Amino acid sequence: MKLDSKVPSGPLEQKWQKHQFEMKLVNPANKRKYSAIVVGTGLAGASAAASLAELGYEVKAFCFQDSSRRAHSIGAQGGINAAKNYQNDGDSVYRLFYDTIKGGDFRSREANTYRLAEVSNNIIDQCAAQGVPFAREYGGTLANRSFGGAQVSRTFYARGQTGQQLLLGAYSALMRQVGLGKVTMYPRTEMQDVVLIDGHAKGIVVRNMVTGEISSHAADAVVLATGGYGRVFYLSTMGLGCNVTAAYRAYKKGALFANPCFTQIHPTCIPHTGDYQCKLTLMSESLRNDGRIWVPKTKDEQRAPGQIPENERDYYLERKYPSFGNLAPRDISSRSAKEACDEGRGVGPSRYGVYLDFSDAINRLGKDVIEERYGNLFEMYELINDENPYEVPMRIYPASHYTMGGLWVDYNLMSNIPGLHVIGEANFSDHGANRLGASALMQGLADGYFVLPYTIGDYFAREGAKNISTERPEFREAEEAVAMRIKKLLDVGGKQTPDSFHKRLGLIMWEKAGMARNEKDLKEALQEIPALREEFWNDVNVLGSADEMNMNVERAARVADFLEFAEIFCLDALDREESCGAHFREEHQTDEGEAVRNDKKYAYVAAWEHKGVGQKPELHKEDLQFESVQLATRSYK
């Protein structure tokens, strides 16, 4: 299979504009003849569904939550980047593009990343017009703050709830279209399979999570906006419903899965405290603007943080990366925390934690300023840990947070299956091997508001409206397969809960494919995962029946997919014999422990094709072409 990225020719700065002109249009009067299915209604899905409906297409939107307002985009706290240069500090579209592609360690597609930076300004305009209450200066203009991995202040925010406010903006646009009858909304409905007709994605099979009913929906195109797979680690900062199922089922139908091993481990989360936990809590990265990260210089330090004198503290990020200091990118910060803890210098009961200390900032700026900036985060921390961060340094530790990998898409955000579009975190294209802070919200909304609405029209115009019926045998077969699979889960009749398997899978992934990876561990994981999967299918206990609201069925079905998906994740990590961004292979580092990238051999997107469960998927490579940027060693020193 030849992967065609369909990147337009011409100078980087003109590609998108040129492409917009060259794409075919659907006549306004004909738009209502075309229909789109949007699966997932977070930032990307809600913005896409609303924008497509505004254009005049018939839209059906699906989410597993009870309302699209609850999608986990809501968890993003810190902000959204845009190249507005409102601060006059030298920002530009090109700088945002360059920071993003450098932050991704030169493993993203140049043209996609440039387009992302290009439309970033429209996003802020759009959201402001919707009434998103962004932070303002006294003069009424928008406020900015700085964020990890950048030296300009380009992050727009709404207190510590930026994701929530942007999602509610997109949700309100979506609700407006639902009210107008242009979008039909299906909440508490989970996609089970994508249906191909003559090689094109023309529908989906879903399960109603209240009644258990399996049904089919047909459309002219399918859009997956189903988020990331970070819960493959079991413990993550993601919502508990987040899963890989929709993307994985598409993969099993022939869509390629790209760079699955590129997963972000976020540096500022509340440390793990006990086995009962199923979710870790993220503390916004914006805290690193004023907090200083440190660990004791000596191992097994027993003193309370306040008792440790200044000269016995190691502000390791400031020491190792003097120009970026505590604002070093996420992958670097996370790995440094792990190293300090592995050396025995970690803090807190589990010794897997580092301090994030605000005492200097409080002395310099006053408690009021810190409270205004981070009040809600400090409150949340105290609620969870029973410690007051104004007095005692916070303890933080990295946790799985975002997945840069995802289904392979071309420049039009279409997968290798015609008609199947993938947007937001679910695709792979813009962040390379590491995502910078405040870029996820930007990408979700860029795809949904400003890219997909154009590119899907091109697909429609080329293919024509097909008006496909769900009576076709392809739908019947898919429905039967879905029902059979659920029956199979219910029939195992074993002893162990689905969650217990998920926990064990998570542990394998965290230990052997987490922040640092090596060949031996990955090969072990590749032995352990199929064994665990076999045990699952022999001994999982799924109570209840298929025709009711049944959390046992929902969880078991998702865990079953994670148990297959984890294998391609590890294969990808094993194949990539280099360290880049969040993917750190211990075999490939300098004497100082910095990542060694191998552009000669690995400047490609690894896109995996399904060949059967337990069979090795086939690797397809999309060579990354850099026309505008010079591949440099990423340095934040």
Partner 1 sequence: MNFKLHVWRQKNAAAKGRMEQYEARDINADMSFLEMLDVVNEDLVEKGIDPIHFDHDCREGICGACSLVINGLPHGGMTGTTCEVRMRLFKDGSTIYVEPFRAKAFPVIKDLTVDRTSIDRVMQAGGFVSTHTGAAIDANAILVPKDKAEEAMDAAACIGCGACVAACKNASGMLFVAAKVSQLALLPQGQAERERRVNKMVAMMDIEGFGNCTNYYECEAVCPKDISVKFIAKMNREYMRALVK
Residue 26 binding partner 1, by CB under 8 A? no
Residue 142 binding partner 1, by CB under 8 A? yes
We find the least distance from the C-beta atom of residue 34 to partner 1, in angstroms, to be 17
Of residues 223, 152, 159, 161, the one with CA closest to residue 191: 223
Q: Could you tell me if 495 and 61 are in contact, meaning their C-beta atoms sit under 8 angstroms apart?
A: no
- Selected from 227, 239, 424, 457, the binder of partner 1 by CB under 8 A is 239
Candidates 336-344, 378-386, 402-410, 458-466 — which segment interacts with partner 1 by CB under 8 A?
378-386
Q: How far apart are CA 503 and CA 507, in angstroms?
A: 6
Query: How does DSSP assign 509-526, residue by residue?
Result: HHHHHSSSB-HHHHHHHH
Pairing type for strands 183-186 and 80-81 reads: unpaired
Query: How does DSSP assign 559-596, residue by residue?
Result: HHHHHHHHHHHHHHHHH--S-BTTB-BTTSB-TTS-B-
In terms of CB distance, is 68 or 439 closer to partner 1? Answer: 68
- Selected from 37, 39, 46, 74, the binder of partner 1 by CB under 8 A is 74
> Where in 486-515 is the site for partner 1 (CB under 8 A)?
495, 497, 499-500
Write down the number of H helices and E strands in the chain. 17, 19
Candidates 69-77, 193-201, 354-362, 480-488 — which segment interacts with partner 1 by CB under 8 A?
69-77
We find the least distance from the C-beta atom of residue 391 to partner 1, in angstroms, to be 19
Q: How far apart are CA 267 and CA 462, in angstroms?
A: 45
Candidates 65-73, 417-425, 517-525, 562-570 — which segment interacts with partner 1 by CB under 8 A?
65-73
Residue 423 binding partner 1, by CB under 8 A? no
Residue 153 binding partner 1, by CB under 8 A? no
477 — phi, psi (to 5°)? -60, -45
We find the least distance from the C-beta atom of residue 277 to partner 1, in angstroms, to be 7
Residue with tokens 């007095």: 391
- Selected from 23, 135, 465, 596, the binder of partner 1 by CB under 8 A is 135
- Selected from 19, 31, 69, 202, the binder of partner 1 by CB under 8 A is 69
Q: How far apart are CA 618 and CA 620, in angstroms?
A: 7
366 — phi, psi (to 5°)? 95, 150
Residue 577 binding partner 1, by CB under 8 A? no
Candidates 26-34, 100-108, 296-304, 383-391 — which segment interacts with partner 1 by CB under 8 A?
383-391
The number of residues in the chain equals 637
Candidates 66-74, 200-208, 297-305, 398-406 — which segment interacts with partner 1 by CB under 8 A?
66-74
Q: Cβ contacts of residue 13 below 8 Å, gap of 6+?
A: 94, 114
We find the least distance from the C-beta atom of residue 4 to partner 1, in angstroms, to be 28
Residue 28 binding partner 1, by CB under 8 A? no
In terms of CB distance, is 372 or 627 closer to partner 1? Answer: 372
In terms of CB distance, is 183 or 219 closer to partner 1? Answer: 183
Query: What is the dihedral angle through the alpha carbons of 145, 149, 152, 155, rounded to the nearest 10 degrees?
Result: -30
DSSP 450: I
We find the least distance from the C-beta atom of residue 215 to partner 1, in angstroms, to be 18
Pairing type for strands 155-156 and 420-422 reads: unpaired
> Where in 187-206 is the site for partner 1 (CB under 8 A)?
187
Residue 126 binding partner 1, by CB under 8 A? yes
We find the least distance from the C-beta atom of residue 298 to partner 1, in angstroms, to be 28
Candidates 95-103, 197-205, 233-241, 618-626 — which segment interacts with partner 1 by CB under 8 A?
233-241
Pairing type for strands 394-403 and 406-407 reads: unpaired
Residue 369 binding partner 1, by CB under 8 A? no
Distances (CA, A) of 41 to 46, 72, 168, 172: 4, 10, 11, 12
> Where in 158-177 is the site for partner 1 (CB under 8 A)?
158-159, 161, 164-165, 168, 171-173, 175-176
Q: Cα Rg for the chain, rounded, in angstroms?
A: 24
**Burial readout 450-475 (b: 16 or more C-beta within 10 A, e: otherwise):** bbbbbbbbbbbbeeeebebebeeebb
> Where in 524-563 is the site for partner 1 (CB under 8 A)?
541, 543-544, 548-549, 551-552
Residue 281 binding partner 1, by CB under 8 A? yes
Residue 282 binding partner 1, by CB under 8 A? yes
Residue 303 binding partner 1, by CB under 8 A? no
Q: Which position among 95, 249, 330, 395 bears the catalytic label?
A: 330
Q: Is 102 helix (H, G, I), strand (E, B) or coil?
A: helix
We find the least distance from the C-beta atom of residue 53 to partner 1, in angstroms, to be 10
In terms of CB distance, is 242 or 433 closer to partner 1? Answer: 242
Identity at 34, one-letter amino acid code: Y
Q: Could you tell me if 578 and 597 are in contact, meaning their C-beta atoms sit under 8 angstroms apart?
A: yes
Distances (CA, A) of 90 to 84, 86, 150, 152: 10, 9, 12, 7
Residue 296 binding partner 1, by CB under 8 A? no
Residue 368 binding partner 1, by CB under 8 A? no
Task: Confirm whether 364 is a catalytic residue.
Answer: no
Of residues 401, 157, 121, the one with CA closest to residue 268: 401
Q: How far apart are CA 471 and CA 634, in angstroms?
A: 54
Q: Is 269 helix (H, G, I), strand (E, B) or coil?
A: strand
In terms of CB distance, is 73 or 412 closer to partner 1? Answer: 73
- Selected from 7, 43, 50, 116, the binder of partner 1 by CB under 8 A is 50
Residue 210 binding partner 1, by CB under 8 A? yes
Residue 86 binding partner 1, by CB under 8 A? yes
In terms of CB distance, is 43 or 175 closer to partner 1? Answer: 175
Identity at 163, one-letter amino acid code: G
Residue 21 binding partner 1, by CB under 8 A? no
Residue 304 binding partner 1, by CB under 8 A? no
Residue 67 binding partner 1, by CB under 8 A? yes
Q: Is 555 helix (H, G, I), strand (E, B) or coil?
A: helix
Candidates 12-20, 178-186, 472-480, 584-592 — which segment interacts with partner 1 by CB under 8 A?
178-186
Candidates 216-224, 273-281, 465-473, 610-618 — which segment interacts with partner 1 by CB under 8 A?
273-281
Active site (catalytic) residues: 330
